[in-house]
Every structure is written in C-alpha cells, then in structure tokens.
Structure 1
Amino acid sequence: MILPGSNSSDDEDDSRQTQSFELLHESIQRWVWKQGWEALRPIQEQAIPVVLDGSLDVILSAPTASGKTEAAFLPILSHITDRRESSEDPEPGFDVVYLSPLKALINDQYDRLEELCGACDLPVHRWHGDVSSSRKNKALEEPDGILLITPESVEALFLRRPSVFHQALQNTAYLVVDEVHAFIGTPRGKQLQSLLHRIEGAIGGWTPRVALSATIGDHEMTAEFLRPKSGSEVEVIDPVGDRQEIRLLVKGYENKNNGNNEENGEDPSGTVVDIAEHIFTTIRGQDNLVFANRRMDVELYTDLLKRISEDRGVPNEFAAHHGSLSKEIREESERLLKNSKAPATVICTSTLELGIDIGWMDSIGQVGSPPSVSSLRQRLGRSGRGDNPAVLRAYIQEPEISDSTPLEDTLRPELVQTIAMVNLLLEKWYEPPNLDALELSTLIQQLLSLIAEHGGIKTKTAYRLLCQTGPFDKITVPQFKSLLRGLADEELLNQAGDGDLIMGLTGEKLTRHYDFYAAFWSPDEYRLVANEKTIGTLPITSPLVEGKLLIFGGQRWEVESVDQKKQIAFLQSAPGGKVPKFGGEGALVHSRIREEMFTTYTSTEVPSYLDAKGVDLLEEGRVHFERLDLQDANLIRQGDHTVLFVWAGDRVVNTTHILLSEKGYKASKSGMTLQVRDCLPSELFNVLCEIATTQPPEPSKLAATVENKIIDKHDRYLPEELLNSNYASKRLDIEGALDEITTIVDES
C-alpha cells in the first residue's frame, strides 16, 4: 500500500500495493498525492479494481473513518473521467446517484467530495429538504456529476417531476448507498429497494450498486438486500485486518428512586446525578459522544451537565443533539465537535450514530443498555484515533430491590443484557434483519407513487415492477388483487375500464402532501419558537399549555403562549424546567441476545470491564436467578399469578403472549417475562403442553386475534386479511415460539 514517492523496504510488497493506485485516473492520482497519504487503506486497495471495473455490485464493509468513501469514489470518479475523455460529446445527466439516510450525512459528504470531484472537474449537488429550490432547479436543468440525495427526495422527484428526473438519469453509471445497514429490515429499506429498482428502470437497465457500511453482521443477507434475488453475485469487500482495539467500562448503579422522578418530569434522582457527575469528571476537557436511548434522557443529562458546569464555575462543554431539535441547533453541536481548539461533549440519540464527519472522539458514553449490538458497534466506531483504542463507558441503572420488585428486575436484566451485547460484539455478531416482513404499508406508498409517476399504470405492469421483479417479491397475485380492492374501497385508487390503475380522490390528497415522501410515521407535532426562531418540535401527545416549564435543547423554557390551531408554542427563558416526553418505542430484542443473557446467568465468569458496583449487581442477579431455579424452571409462582420466563427474542415473547391470550389467559409482557394473571404454574404448564402438541395456527389467523395491528404509516388502509398477514410477518414468530414452548414443556 505504498504510493509512488514513498519508501518501502519490500519491493514485492511495494509492487503489489501500488497496483490499485496505478489503476486510478491521473487526475485522481494527483489528488491522492496532494493529500500526503503514505499508503492507501486496505479497503481502498481491495475496492479500486472491483468498483472501477463496474461489472459487479459491491459492498464495502469497514469501520467508521477507515476510508470507505474514498474506496468507493476514487475508482468511480476514475471510471467517469475515463468515460468522458473517450466520448466526443458526453451526454448530460447525473453520473452518480448517492443515496444517504441522513440530510446531515449528505452535507458532510458534500464538503468531503467537493474537493475530490474538483480534481476531475465534476460538480457535486446536494438535494434534500434544506436545499433551496433555486439550487435544485439548476441541478435538474443542467444535470451533471454527483447527486447526493435522500430516498424521500428521490420519491418526491418521481412524483413531482418524473419526466425531467428520468432524463437526468440517462447518463448514470453508479448507484451508491451509504450506511446501508441503517436501511435493512425497515420500511425505509423496502422503499430504498423499490426506488433503486425504479431508478434502474428509468436508466434503462442494470446499473452497478455500491453500498457502504461499518456494521454488517451477515454479508450474504446484506448482499441480498442490495440486489434482491441476486445477492450471490454481489462482491463483498471486508478487510479482516482493518479493525481496532476496544476498551470498555460498564458502570452499575442502584437507583433507590427507581427512575420515577425523571419519568414524571421532576427533579432527577440521585443516581442520575451520580452518572452525570461521573461523565463530567471523567471526560470533560476531551471530545466525546454520550448516547442516550431516549430524547428525554438527552435533555435530562445535557441540562444536568450544564448545571454542574455552572456550579463549578467552568465553561459549559456540553450540548444536545436529537431529531426533534432544529437543524441549526444540531449543526451547532456538530460544529462544537469539529472545532479542534475547544473540547466538547455532545449528548445524543442515534442521530450521531451514522457516518457524519465530526472527527475522532476520545471516548463514547452509553446511558442505558444499547438498543442493539449493531448500534453498539456503530457508536463505538466513533472513537479511536490512529492506533489508539476505541473507548466505551456504559452507565447502567438497576432499581433497588424490595418486596414489590417484579421478579424480572431482581435479575438485574439491563446490566446482563448489556453484558450479553458486549460479548456478542466481541464475537462480531450483529442482528440479522427480518427479511420475511411483507412491508405492505411501503407497498401502498410505492404503488401510489408509481401511479403518480406515470399518470396511471396497467395492473400487470405495476405487479411486475413492484413484486415480480421488484423488492415486494413475497406478495402473491391474489394478495396484490386484494390490496387493489382495499385501496379502491378507500378511494386511494381507481381501476379504469381498460385496466389502468389511476389515482383516486383520497390518493390525490395523500400523495400531494409532503409527508407522503417518507415511508415512516411523522407524528403531529408542536413547533417550538423562542426569540422568533424555531428551535425544534414536540409531539402533540405531550400537551403544551401556557406556563408549562420545559427543558429543550439544553436550555430551560416556559411556554409563553400556544397557538393550538397552528400547533405553535412560543417559549421564553425560565430558571426552571422539566424534561418533556417525546414518545417512540425501542428496538425489538433478538433471540440471540436473550440466549446470551441466559448463558451469562449460568456462568461464574465476571467480565473484567465491570466496575465494583456492576460486579455486585451481576452477582445479585445470579443469586436471584439461582434462587428462582431458572436454570431448570421457567414457571415461577408469584401469589395467585405465574411468571413465565421466555429466553428468546421479543417476537417469540409476543407470539407466546398471543397464544396464551387466545386460550383466554390474561398476561402482561415485561422484557423476557410474561406475568399470567390468576393462573398457577401447574395450570399454565398444562396450557403450554396443549399449545405444544396442537397443530400450529396459521400466522394470519393468530394475528386476527390481536386488537391493534397498526404498526406502520399506511397500515390503516389495508383490508383486514392483509393487515393480519402484515402484522404476522413483522411481529410473530410461531415456529420460534413453539420451539421455545416445547423446550419449556420437555424440561419441566
């Protein structure tokens, strides 16, 4: 990996490592020289010949800041420059369409690529909701170079300016998907797959796709996501040696208030203050990210750390970053991290988890158990400069145990779940997505978008584009016809006499609203205005009235007035404040994590990364695990009720819950447990035996017993039978539940 002009003690190694560099166009080689690089990174060496060839789809997998962007664009720009030089009259159009999950990531990549693309005289265009209309119009009038865009903006172009957008795609040579793992297994991911397919349809044929990711657990599954039904033909480049050392500390805390104060917006508990104090004394003076799983926790800790700074008479280095804050506040927090002259720590949600270039962090904090192993890996990848290790400090609260403590909580489950996730991280295991999900809500969106794009479309053509050759390949012809009938009943579409699908009145209204472009929910929100500037939004599920106190964006506010009709709240500075509730649900826990938790309970090994309190809490959890005989028993009596321990993922737990409900038993879920009311263990055992030995129910029929099956944005338009099938594909795992129940019965 030695570039010309560098010293090498191994001629053979020098020859091998410069082969990729020599393949690059001369203008790109000059750009590399100007950077002062001594060598190409491993991911770049391996990617250049494959991407440059342009005959394969490629996945580039490597840690954050390992040079993935250059690994993709050095060969892409070389290919485009060579193509232009060999053509006497290059056709107009975007040479590359780059799709990103975040507007902030587009802004970051724009700054990064502008200089590189300037080396070969190629323009770079940003396209998202914060870019002015004049810039967008100019880019469409003179399409050229690199288009950086979100899936939602691609959707808008197909809807609003289809013919112009089709023309702008005629010269596209590559499709690039950044942070591909962020899409997989989500409604947005299914939308992305559909949009890629539609883009290729507009281009007129197969176009190489290049995906970038720092967190890929299953290469084959990711390849199948990138190119459905042809994943085996995707080239995966994942340099095994390009990894970093990890240093971990997991601190345990016993919360004597059980977290009730923060939930009620009152003064935080002593435990929370202790965590804030440790964050302040340990990492102040450096650049850090502290991840919290909830936006309300971001606000809570940002406020606490600011107050500690004021009490100590030192400058405040702490800022907030989450999706409800305005773009200006988020960008200011990012600027603080990029400023090398002053240290900064940003408390954030997953908004800073992806690859926005904020420089290397000295350390990463995690408040609460991470949402997933994949997320933990992504967050950890933000830390570590050069040969320095990545540093993670996790802060885990467990409630004080009393006579009224739920059995599950006596096991210290959040701490043990964190240990399980760390263990799986070290094994390089990450959650596979649920590829069985039908994603019918997104199919509705894509069908209506397709109708709007073409002004109407034949039923057979729509099915072929979306299902037969597209990403919704699990949808049968009868299901598609049922969907069309249901959408017609809702006046979302109509079927003309010649078989064309055309937009219905409700469909016209739906597709004309900007909210339609996104495949995910956009809840009704208040717009928060302070000093004549919008500082963010709050869900209307957190009612705002005059005089209410808020903590938002690291500041304390009082609601001065509220325009309920326009949903605008006007704020003024205040000495006091309470953390508002933002809503949202957590990620589903995978069965592999619960299995690792069980292994942790039955083991005697104490992880070296636990602090003294963490060790005490783990030993307490193991003592209660042994006291309840959970190694051999799953049914534990608690008064007149029975607690059923299910050492499997949330889909299995949910399915077991529904199977019991179908038998007439009332149960409540909490983590890996089901508390079955007014039922003794012997009775519950007999019910489980009956379930285990009975013919498995049809998933859709079992889903029919569930009262609320609305999960995604357009589910409310689905006819009942499709709503049942859709819910079953996303929330049920009958095979997994029956396997678990059979194991419980056999071992009891």
Structure 2
Amino acid sequence: MTAEPGTPEGPGGLDPLDRLHPGLVHHIVNTLGWPGLRPLQEEAVAPLMDGSDALLLAPTAGGKTEAASFPLLSRMDAERWTGTSVLYVCPLKALLNNLLPRLETYTSWLGRSAALWHGDVPQSRRKRVLRERPDVLLTTPESLEAMLVSANVDHRAFFSGLRAIVVDEVHAFAGDDRGWHLLAVLERLERVVGRPVQRVGLSATVGNPAELLSWLQGAGAGKRGARVVAPHLREAAPELPPPGDIQLDYVGSLANAATVIAALHRGEKRLVFCESRRQVEKLGEALRAKGVTTFLSHASLSVDERSRAEEAFAEARDCVIVSTSTLELGIDVGDLDRVIQIDAPATVASFLQRLGRTGRRSGSPRNCLFLALDEPGLLSAAALLLLWSRGWVEPVVAPPEPRHIVAQQVLALCLQEHRVGDRLWQDWWGGLGPFGPAAEPIVRHLIGEGYVDRDGGMMFIGPEAERRFGFRHFMDLTAVFTAAPEFTVLSGRTEIGTTDPALLTEEVAGPRRLLLAGRSWQVTYIDWSRRRCFVEPVEGGGRARWGGAGFARIASYELTRAAREVLLGATPPVVLTRRAEGALARARDEGAELVHAHGTVIVRGGQGTSVRWWTWAGHRANATLAATLGPAADPLQRPADAYVRLREDITPREWRNAVAEGAQRLSLPSVNPRAVAGLKFGATLPPRLAEATMAARLADLDGAAAALGEPFQYRVRGM
C-alpha cells in the first residue's frame, strides 16, 4: 500500500481514458464538456478497474464521486455485472439525495440505473427498488442493516450481484462508532454474497491515509490489493490561499458578529458555520432583524425546512445561510462567495472541509473569515490556523473498545439469520478485531441476561431483546447513535423541527415562546403523550435550547499545545484585524504566567487557595493525569483542556512522588455513571465492561505520558 500513486497509466501504458467505457468517454467530453480527467480521476482508473481496494483523497469539490463511479461503471459493463452490483454509502441522507441525480445521469449513459434507499424514502419507492434492483444503490449503513434484518427483503437474492462498495466521506465514519458499525455490516454483507467485495473510500485530506484505507478493508486488510490515490499529497507544501483570503477578527459577542456579517460582503452569497444549534438560531434571528436574507440549517430542523432553506439559498445571491456542521460535507448549495466561521471548528480537518466550500468558480479564491466571540474562541482559532499553516491534519482514529457495537451486532445477526450457531457466530465478521474472540464475554453476558436465547447449539433473539428493542420491528436496534428525546414542533400541519423538552417544562413568566428556524413561535398546545408541541408565529422573544448526548466538544493534545505556542508568541500566517491583534496581545499578557516554553507550569493562586498544573495537554490527557495522580489531584475537579487542579495543601515531596509513580503506571479516567447511561446499547454489556469502554474513550495515554515527562516550573500567581 502506498500514498505515492506514481504513473496513472494502466497496463501497457494505456491512457486512463482508453480504459473507460467508450460511451462514458463520449459523454465526459461532449455532455460534461470536460477537456479531460482531473489527476485524481486519471490515477483512480487503474486500481479500480483492476479490482483493488482504494482510498481516493482530494479537497472538497475535487471530483471524487466521478473518480470512483466512472471506473466502476466501466467494469460493470465489461464484466457484465447484473443486479445491484454497486453500493454507494454516505453518512447523511441529505448527501445521498444530493448525489442521486448525478449518479442517475452517469448510469443512464450505459443503460444502467441508480436508486435511493434510506429512512425518508416512501414505501412505494422501496418496493420498486426491491422489484427492479437498480445497478447502483445509494444508502446509509443503518439502512443496509435494516435491509439485512427485514422480513420484507430477501437479502441473499437482493445482494447476490454485489461487487463493489463506495464509502463517501469515509473519514466521517471512521472517527466514531458508526464506523465500527459500517465495518461490521460490510463483513456480514460479504458473507451473504459469498465473495470479497471491492471497497473504495472517498475522503478529504486526512493525516493518516494508509491507516484509514487499512481500516476500511476490515478483515481483508493485508489480504487484498490496496491503493491510496492522492495526487495532491505529492505537492511539496500545503496549498495555502493567498495572504488576505484567511482572516481572523475578534468581535466579542454574537450580536457583534451579526453586525459585522450584515455590513461586510453585501451582494455576495455567504455560508456561516457555528458550533451549536443554539448559536445558529440566535445568529439567524439577529441577521434577519438587520434585514439580511437569511436561511438556517441544523439537525433539529425538519427535513423539509432544511431542504427549503438549502434550495432557496442555492438559487439566491445576496444572502446568508447559517449552519452547524450539517453543511460541512459535500451537499451542494451552489457557488459560494464567502465562508465565515464563528470561533473555531473542533479540528483542522473540519476547517479544510469548510474552506473547500468556496473557490469552486473559476478565478474565485478559497477564503474564510474567523469571527472570535471571546478570548478562548480567539485562541482556539489562532491555534487551529497555526497547525493548518504547517500542513498538519488530524489522523482519523477509530474509537477504542467498541464493545457495545459488538453486542448490537450479535443481536442484529440473530435477527438476520433467525438462528446462529453458538460456535460459528464469529465467522460472520471474518476475524475483524473486536468481533473475534474478544467478544466472547459479551456474548456470554447477552445469553445470561436473556438478550439471546440458546438451545441445541443455536442462538436466537431472547425475551430481554424483544422487550428493549422489539418496538416497530426492532428499528431502534439498527440506529447506532443516540438522539436525545426531543419534542416535534408544528405550526398547523407543517413540521418546523424539534426542541429540548426542558423549554416546555421550565417555569416562565407570560407566554411560552420558542426560537426555531430563526423565527419566534408561541406555544399554543403541548401533546405530552405524542411528544408534540403546536405553535404560532410571533414577533420576537423566543428561546432556543438543546441538550446533548455523548461527548462535549473538547480540544485535542495537538490543538491545546498549539494554543500554548500562540500564547508564547507564535502567530499564524493569516491576516489579523487590529481588534484581533489587540485581543491576542491581552491574552498573551494575561496568560504569561501560565505557559513555559520548555515544560509545564504549576501555579498557586494569589490567595493560596487554588493550585493548577498547566499542562496544555488537552482534555483527555488531563483526565488521564487526574486519575493517575490519585491523592495529589483535587478530587472534585472537572478536567479542562489546559490544566489539572491539584490538592490545595499538596507538598513538593508529595508532588514529586506522584509524578514518579504516575510515570510508571498511567490510570484510565474515572467514569461518571451518567456517561455509561449515554452509551447506546451500553445496557447490553456487563457494567464493568461498559465502564471500561467509556474510560478507554476518555483517555489519552500518550499525551499524559508526554506531560509527565516534561520539566515543570512552580509559580505563585501575582508575584
């Protein structure tokens, strides 16, 4: 496996176009009007036509869909594939909807077909898919699993012709539990069809492409041909936009951000990214109050509401769309003039995705304006831009110890096959790490707790699984990520979106008002049993709120270390406004006592009541350090990105002993029981394994070890 693709030519020095189907080449030249293929598309032809697994890397709008689909469609015709032979898997239903017209066009050029299958597709269209079996099926991993377990789908017949799977935005899967779920479902699919299935991943730039491809191969890693295709990685230096196209400003509040956005770039189409749904709502409301044509997009808006906003935005010119990460991936909202970022995204990879939304028109530059709302936001943005300017991107790493996904998969397999041999169940995942011998204690627990019954050497769904997951044909068993229980908000018969139930239960003076879709609504009736809330529009006064399941947004070791560099004087090579320069100078003055160029700092508060160890190691490393230090750490602390709180009366001798012992034996962070409760399918695990799973995911052993190994200075604040 290599990230250096070398020559794009095929066997005998063939031009890549000569290996594609002549009908495709005709339409590429005459229908699309392309003078030729892009480098990624040229270099993808040979490995995909030869049947290798591959990872295709390119910046946003780099032609990845065509790079995958043109060779596979050519193979489909040359090798006479029949039935549904290609699956195109995406993380978002909206992205699938967006891609369908393109893939319908490309397949039609060869007399083939493409169709869509996900939770929003009407039953009538699903029946047609089952009846007519399109050559290319666009779907999600959850919908694939639903097809495998459904009594209405003959999955062996339907998938009998499967030859290749394309996983779009593969990095978005690999970094969380949906990735483990995807891999497990793909292994089960291969066993159903009885042959290896070619796997092709599409991704923006990542820090570890070879490892990501090996991950995508699953149990086939090292057994099948594999190729990273990434022509842009051969460039000597990262492609940075010209000076002036990336700017960092300090505005101090969301209201001020609205003022700046309303005043700048009038007549242009602007996409504004926020880091929370509440921010999206408040900023959208403020922009509309200033007369700016504004649209909103986030996960708690209804599908229709988001679609209307995205379509209207795509057709408009002088307007703004305010979004969470829902528009970070490749959903087409037309040509953009500007991207604006409130504070900073969580990763450099996210910034690259967002930056790539601009500059798609010939002659238009890629650009981004950062608007920091406070000092932490300014520091985060400066740190991220510093890493980006060096060409650094986070490696994509799968979450460790996915034991709860193993439990879910065993139950799903029992649903799929009805009866599974109690000694043969591991074969379904072909030796894929967590689903092999390490899963045996989980299966024993499932049997012991009644989730799985066993009789005559066969396993099948037990009464406890029926009780917990049997509602609506086990639909909840196929959804791997947990959504907080929210109330649906309706105006008449029109669904606006969902809201946190706390907004409907807390005491208020006067009428109860919500902020949703950038507008205020007055609650007229609440249907508690059906979790519905009926509203009518009003002028102002609405409030937005959503709870959050899962992890809070936390900074990594690398980003936190970059923030320390910024405080020590490093400045990213972008344009800083005078406001940003002034705020950054103040932050450096105020933080001078908290940073040390060659190690860490222990700071005692001026009154002697607070002792903090400024590690600048990131949240997970600090959580690991707090557990490792034992009695030396403050037992009541909540680990932060930059520091660990120490016991107020700790002595130098106790500190030295704690560091020496910790360097020999790192401890996993302690786990809050509420965190275990938020782990979907966690109830199917023995409590100790559920806690061990969460602890492993809260830890950063490498970052903690690095902090323990550094010299430290002791300082008293204010002296």
Fold shared per TM-score above 0.5: yes
CA contact (8 A) 1:547 1:558 kept: yes
Residue 661 of structure 2 aligns with which residue? 693
Residue 116 of structure 1 aligns with which residue? 106
Cα 1:703–1:489 shift into 2, 3 Å: farther
Structure 1 counterpart of 2:465, from 507, 527, 530: 507
Distance 1:497 1:629 in 2: 63
Residue 706 of structure 2 aligns with which residue? 739
Tell me whether 1:497 sits opposite 2:459 in the alignment.
no
Instruction: State the Cα distance separating 1:516 from its structure 2 match.
Output: 2.2
Cα 1:551–1:714 shift into 2, 3 Å: same
Residue 262 of structure 1 aligns with which residue? none
CA contact (8 A) 1:491 1:504 kept: yes
Distance 1:726 1:187 in 2: 12
Instruction: State the Cα distance separating 1:292 from its structure 2 match.
Output: 0.3
Distance 1:378 1:705 in 2: 34
Distance 2:711 2:459 in 1: 51
Cα 1:26–1:272 shift into 2, 3 Å: same
Letter in 1 for 2:382: I
Cα 1:18–1:544 shift into 2, 3 Å: farther
Residue 270 of structure 2 aligns with which residue? 288
Cα 1:100–1:501 shift into 2, 3 Å: same
Instruction: State the Cα distance separating 1:356 from its structure 2 match.
Output: 1.1
Structure 2 counterpart of 1:621, from 583, 587, 605: 587
Distance 1:367 1:684 in 2: 43
Residue 603 of structure 1 aligns with which residue? 569
Letter in 1 for 2:683: R
Cα 1:606–1:154 shift into 2, 3 Å: closer
Structure 2 counterpart of 1:249, from 247, 250, 253: 247
Instruction: State the Cα distance separating 1:736 from its structure 2 match.
Output: 3.3
Distance 2:671 2:264 in 1: 53
Distance 1:708 1:219 in 2: 31
Distance 2:122 2:656 in 1: 61
Tell me whether 1:453 sits opposite 2:394 in the alignment.
no
Tell me whether 1:564 sits opposite 2:564 in the alignment.
no
| Residues 455-534 of structure 1 mapped to structure 2, 5 A cutoff | 455-466=418-429, 469-472=431-434, 476-477=437-438, 480-494=439-453, 496-509=454-467, 510-511=469-470, 512-534=473-495
For these two proteins, the number of residue pairs brought into alignment is 685
Instruction: State the Cα distance separating 1:518 from its structure 2 match.
Output: 1.3
Structure 1 counterpart of 2:553, from 568, 587, 608: 587
Distance 2:672 2:553 in 1: 24
Cα 1:684–1:566 shift into 2, 3 Å: farther
Distance 1:327 1:706 in 2: 34
Residue 27 of structure 2 aligns with which residue? 31
The more displaced of 651-660 and 452-461 is 651-660
Overall identity of the aligned pairs, in %: 26
Instruction: State the Cα distance separating 1:746 from its structure 2 match.
Output: 8.8
Cα 1:195–1:728 shift into 2, 3 Å: same
Instruction: State the Cα distance separating 1:301 from its structure 2 match.
Output: 0.6
Instruction: State the Cα distance separating 1:192 from its structure 2 match.
Output: 0.6
Distance 1:324 1:245 in 2: 34
Tell me whether 1:578 sits opposite 2:542 in the alignment.
yes
Letter in 2 for 1:587: R
Q: Which sections of structure 2, spanning at least 5 residues, go unmatched? A: 1-8
Match of 2:710, SS state, is helix
Given the two structures, how large is their TM-score scaled by the length of structure 2? 0.89
CA contact (8 A) 1:179 1:214 kept: yes
Distance 2:588 2:710 in 1: 22
Match of 1:283, SS state, is coil
Residue 689 of structure 2 aligns with which residue? 722
CA contact (8 A) 2:180 2:398 kept: no
Residue 634 of structure 2 aligns with which residue? 665
CA contact (8 A) 1:191 1:442 kept: yes
Instruction: State the Cα distance separating 1:727 from its structure 2 match.
Output: 1.8
CA contact (8 A) 1:181 1:215 kept: no
Instruction: State the Cα distance separating 1:343 from its structure 2 match.
Output: 3.4
Distance 1:717 1:698 in 2: 28
Match of 1:346, SS state, is strand
Cα 1:152–1:229 shift into 2, 3 Å: closer
CA contact (8 A) 2:618 2:642 kept: no
Instruction: State the Cα distance separating 1:465 from its structure 2 match.
Output: 2.7
Distance 1:564 1:661 in 2: 46
Instruction: State the Cα distance separating 1:617 from its structure 2 match.
Output: 1.5
Match of 2:704, SS state, is helix
CA contact (8 A) 2:299 2:326 kept: yes
Match of 2:24, SS state, is helix
Residue 431 of structure 1 aligns with which residue? 394
Cα 1:179–1:664 shift into 2, 3 Å: closer
Match of 2:161, SS state, is coil
Distance 2:656 2:146 in 1: 50
Instruction: State the Cα distance separating 1:78 from its structure 2 match.
Output: 1.0
Residue 69 of structure 1 aligns with which residue? 65
Residue 618 of structure 2 aligns with which residue? 649
CA contact (8 A) 2:117 2:137 kept: yes
Instruction: State the Cα distance separating 1:361 from its structure 2 match.
Output: 1.3
Instruction: State the Cα distance separating 1:735 from its structure 2 match.
Output: 4.7
Cα 1:707–1:572 shift into 2, 3 Å: closer
CA contact (8 A) 1:483 1:718 kept: yes
Letter in 2 for 1:22: D
Cα 1:561–1:704 shift into 2, 3 Å: closer
CA contact (8 A) 1:291 1:365 kept: yes
Match of 2:264, SS state, is helix
Instruction: State the Cα distance separating 1:150 from its structure 2 match.
Output: 0.7
Residue 59 of structure 1 aligns with which residue? 55
Residue 305 of structure 1 aligns with which residue? 287
Distance 2:500 2:672 in 1: 30
Match of 2:62, SS state, is coil
